[in-house]
């Protein structure tokens, strides 16, 4: 199980440090559940100080990165920069990056290679919009995203991947996929991963990223192919985030 908090564009440095400290205290011993928090760029170093200065096993992650090692890319951050500040994870291809910043599956693919080469674990996001689901195209959309994003990623690297299924229609809308809908899509993604990576595909974490909250976390994670959550709004409240981690521990 893995529970990762995506803080998005929230918290200044002071608030990020306070939230990280509260998360460390609230989560306590996460047991066998992997836990990560992904604050904004400006707070990565300060949050890393909080995490590394505690006995917590909580890891640091970033919300995106550039696919090049370095260069004239004003405003961008490279994988090696993220490693240097203490990151273990990086979220790639989040639906909001796709929607607002034009990220493509090919771009995500390029970023995956760079992340893996620097020792970062990519959390690769895929998922369909409401219109795509209503049109009956949810599986074809997700299949294309998975296959294009993971194109040419060798089996030797596959165990370092994490996939997050985001039903885009359930992010920030108050809607949530039913446990049955979540399992159906996670199982479909699992099939794609096994087709590409044989038995290693069974070991790749597939997170649910569509408005997971304390109230629905356990029911969602009890599904066979739901291996944790990529948490948005609930990750900004330490007690809620800790409750989700606790749910993961009980599965």
**pLDDT over 70 (residue 118):** yes
- Sequence-distant (6+) residues with CB within 8 A of 72 are none
The verdict on pTM exceeding 0.85 is yes
Q: Based on the structure, what is the number of domains in the chain?
A: 1
Buried b (16+ CB within 10 A) or exposed e, 166-199: bbbbbbeeeebbebebbbbbbebbbebbeebbee
Q: What is the mean pLDDT of residues 151-158?
A: 95
- In the set 103, 138, 166, 246, the catalytic residue is 166
Q: What is the pLDDT of residue 107?
A: 97
Q: What is the pLDDT of residue 210?
A: 86
The Cβ-side half-sphere exposure at 247, using a 13 Å CA radius, reads 23
- In the set 67, 94, 96, 138, the catalytic residue is 94
- 62 bridge partner residues: 90
Q: What is the pLDDT of residue 243?
A: 98
- Indicate the average pLDDT of the chain: 96
Instruction: Measure the CA–CA gap between 208 and 80, rounded to whole angstroms.
Output: 27
Give the domain CATH number at 161: 3.20.20.70
Q: What is the pLDDT of residue 170?
A: 81
pLDDT tens for each residue of 66-87 = 999 999 999 999 999 999 999 9
Catalytic site includes residue 94? yes
**pLDDT over 90 (residue 230):** yes
pLDDT tens for each residue of 32-55 = 999 999 999 999 999 999 999 998
Give me the domain span that covers residue 53. Answer: 2-250
CA angle 221, 6, 152 (to 5 degrees): 80
**pLDDT over 80 (residue 171):** no
- 5 bridge partner residues: 37, 231
Q: What is the pLDDT of residue 249?
A: 97
Instruction: Measure the CA–CA gap between 240 and 244, rounded to whole angstroms.
Output: 6
Q: What is the pLDDT of residue 174?
A: 67
Instruction: Measure the CA–CA gap between 176 and 195, rounded to whole angstroms.
Output: 28
- 207 bridge partner residues: 164
pLDDT tens for each residue of 13-38 = 999 999 999 999 999 999 999 999 99
Catalytic site includes residue 134? no
**pLDDT over 90 (residue 175):** no
Q: What is the pLDDT of residue 176?
A: 72
């Amino acid at each position: 199980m893995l529970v990762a908090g995506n803080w998005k564009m929230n918290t200044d440095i002071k608030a990020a440090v306070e939230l990280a400290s509260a998360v460390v205290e609230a989560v306590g011993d996460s047991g066998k559940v992997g836990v990560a928090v992904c604050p904004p760029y400006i707070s990565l170093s300060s949050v890393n100080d909080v995490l590394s200065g505690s006995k917590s096993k909580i890891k640091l992650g970033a919300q995106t990165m550039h696919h090049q090692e370095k260069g004239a890319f004003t405003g961008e951050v490279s994988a090696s920069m993220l490693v240097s500040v203490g990151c273990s994870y990086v979220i790639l291809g989040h639906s909001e990056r796709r929607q607002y910043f034009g990220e493509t599956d090919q771009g995500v693919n390029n970023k995956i290679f760079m992340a893996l080469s620097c020792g970062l674990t990519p959390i690769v996001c895929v998922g369909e919009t409401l219109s795509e689901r209503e049109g009956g195209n949810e599986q074809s959309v997700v299949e294309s995203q998975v296959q294009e994003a993971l194109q040419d990623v060798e089996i030797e690297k596959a165990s370092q991947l994490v996939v997050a299924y985001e039903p885009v229609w359930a992010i920030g809308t108050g809607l949530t996929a039913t446990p049955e809908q979540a399992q159906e899509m996670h199982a479909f993604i699992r099939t794609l991963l096994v087709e590409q990576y044989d038995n290693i595909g069974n070991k790749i974490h597939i997170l649910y990223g569509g408005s997971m909250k304390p109230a629905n976390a356990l029911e969602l994670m009890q599904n066979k192919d739901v291996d944790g959550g990529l948490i948005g709004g609930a990750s900004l409240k330490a007690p809620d985030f800790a409750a989700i981690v606790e749910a993961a521990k009980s599965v």
